[in-house]
A and B are shown apart, each in its own frame.
Chain A
Amino acid sequence: MTRSRASTVLLTILSAAFLVTGCSSQDQNIAARGEKVLYLFNWNNYIAPKTVKQFEQSCNCRLSQDYYADNEEMLAKLAAGASGHDLIIPTGNAMSTLIHQGVLRPLDKTLLPNLKNINPSHLNNAFDPGNKYSVPYAYTVTLLGFNQQKIIELGLPTDSWSLIFEPKYLKKIKGRVTVLDSQRELMAAALKYLGYSANDANELHWQEARNLILRAKPYWAAFSNTSYVKELAVGNLWVAHGYSNDMFQAALDAKKTGRKFIIDYSIPREGAVLALDSLVIHQSGTHPELAHQFITFMLDGRNSAELTNLTGSGNPNMSAVQFIQPEIIDNKAIFPDQELFTRLEMIQDLDRTQRRRLSRLWTEIKLRNL
């Protein structure tokens, strides 16, 4: 008795010490008892709690999650030695990094009978030709969120990046706009507005984008990756450059708290960034068959729809459509029509010299003024 108590304490301490591998002490205990635990390395709030419960019942196992707030954090944690994750849900470019590092396990498609549920337009992309490693899970679009009342009042356009780049519009909303604190996302928006590809790495085009950004910067309140959600919802911000699922959240919050305005969002007509997150199986995981079972479970339309209903994420699963709330499925910013969809672009990784160049440019953007 005492001995088992002592070993529990020891396990707790050990797991606390190895937090980076992210196994909570409870899970350690279960693992110690011989029960199967599936380790999922996931974004915050990126699976419905109900879905977790249902999966645990169906597999007679435990689903343990670790969270990351962005792809870089996930890659950095893995590079620093975090291991033991069966499944990860990276975005395209980060997934291609993992594929090139050779740390992913190829899928066994015989175990995934309902892979056909996925919309073909989300399959076979440049990051993983033939989907050898990945199954699309959900997607977000980087777009413009805005306070509808204010925008109508001020007579501003909402279907163009000009809203955050053109001084003639910006001067009406000075200090009430934020843009993403992300080198790639902001550059992509600027490049798209200038008519280039989001993945353009031409030095001259970058300089053009830099000038565009520096010209608009005095009107922006801040570079913000997370706080814009709350600030939009309470009415402090009128326009924000951000992710569709965050805007969904802000709109919901504003509605729930009974604000006098509506938060709406739309994809600029110049095109925008699409971030497709896919399920991949990591080699350091010890339950590949259970991981396949989870993927199959998530490919089921009903389970997949839960996530969209909860977070407003885009859903690549065709069989999920009938289970998604009508106001979400009709939202063009979450489910863009075919014509708009073709103007979305996924961000590809830059090579190391380009990354260093962009980082320098970014420092300059933060530090200097035109």
Chain B
Amino acid sequence: MIRNGAKENRVTKWLVSGPPLVFLLVFFVTPSLIMLFTSLRFPGEFGGLAPIISPTEAAQGEHGLTLETYQLFFSDILYAEVFLKSFIVASTSTLICLIMAYPLALLIARSEKRFRNLMVLLVVLPFASNFLIRIYAWMIILGPESVFSHFINGVLSAFGVAPVTLLFSPFAVIVGMVYVYLPFMVLPLYTNLEKHDPALLDAAQDLGANAWQRFWHVTWPLSLPGVFSGSVLVFIPVLGMFAVPDILGGTGDILIGNLIKDQFLGTRDWPFGSTLSIMLTLAVLAITALSTWLARPASITKG
């Protein structure tokens, strides 16, 4: 009887974890393996990849497998700098998203139930139009002759500060990133905050906690899982983004995404592009692991 139950249990486990496993296998493991394999090959003279086994008549030219792209990556500090820069941009964007999304999510979670769905819908509404069109709209908003720019520079000149250009700057890149990924922070935060038991806040108030103490000792610790999942959802895509710096960035705004894109298009160096992608994947995995570890229940109850 017991053995039977254990067996049933195992079957259920497989049934539950099977689909996600298959999903990961097809959409993550397989492409990663293809990338790993590509990174070990030589680039083709005219793009693409050099053959692994050279056809006899064209025996000249490199073929087979090599570690040279990894050598290239680790022997030059330049690429580490691009990674560092991307991490800074991603962290900044995530932090700003968090600061902007938290009050909004709290507001939605605390408002009357019948308005909540409408408000969530409004948060998601920008997705109804194409992402690139929305980014191009920011080009107009931030352009040097725009109302917004004139307003900002008017305020700055009143304080005696020289006028600034908003478009084509690191500032514009961060604005674009925050704008695109803000809903990804709001939604997990909201789903978390909505589940909080209002009785806890009442209890805290009864025990003499003021508004700030109620937030800092009750709401904030309980919302940490939402904060972490939201942060991961913002941080990771920003890390790999290339379109926003391409469109809004200035002369120095190169992120890993742009570097990888360059390898596949301009330089036609697929192996090095794959190596960079693998490094990015590893970095992302490390971050996810770290945030999962930080968000584990034990550390939250302690906090």
Contact = CB atoms under 8 A, between A and B. Distances in A.
B221 interface: no
A235 B76 CA distance: 41
A227 interface: yes
Contacts of B253: 366
A231 B253 CA distance: 19
B47 A367 contact: no
Contacts of A223: 251
A101 interface: yes
A355 B46 CA distance: 11
A348 B7 CA distance: 67
A101 B44 CA distance: 10
B269 A222 contact: no
Nearest to B85: A367
A356 B79 CA distance: 13
The size bracket of the interface on B is 35 or more
Interface string A330-370: 00000000000000000001011001101110111011010
A222 B251 contact: yes
A367 B168 contact: no
Interface residues of A, number: 41
A3 interface: no
Nearest to A356: B269
Interface stretch (B30-38, B93-101, B139-147, B176-184): B139-147
Contact of B268 (A75, A101, A181, A363): A75
A72 B268 contact: yes
B47 A359 contact: no
A175 interface: yes
Interface string B50-86: 0000000000000000000000100010110110010
Interface string A149-184: 000000000000000000000000001101001111
Interface string A211-230: 00000011011110001000
A97 interface: yes
Highest count of chain B CB atoms <10 Å: which of A101, A235, A355, A360: A355
Contact of B46 (A100, A181, A227): A100
A366 B251 contact: yes
A230 to B, nearest CB: 8
The 5 A-B residue pairs with the shortest CB-CB distance in the complex, in nearest-first order = A222-B168, A366-B254, A359-B267, A72-B265, A97-B46
8 contacts: A76-B264, A222-B168, A222-B251, A236-B145, A359-B263, A362-B262, A363-B259, A369-B252
Interface of A: 70, 72-73, 75-76, 79, 97, 100-101, 175-176, 178, 181-184, 217-218, 220-223, 227, 231, 234-236, 349, 351-352, 355-356, 358-360, 362-364, 366-367, 369
Interface of B: 42-48, 72, 76, 78-79, 81-82, 85, 139, 143-145, 165, 167-168, 246-247, 249-254, 258-259, 262-269, 272
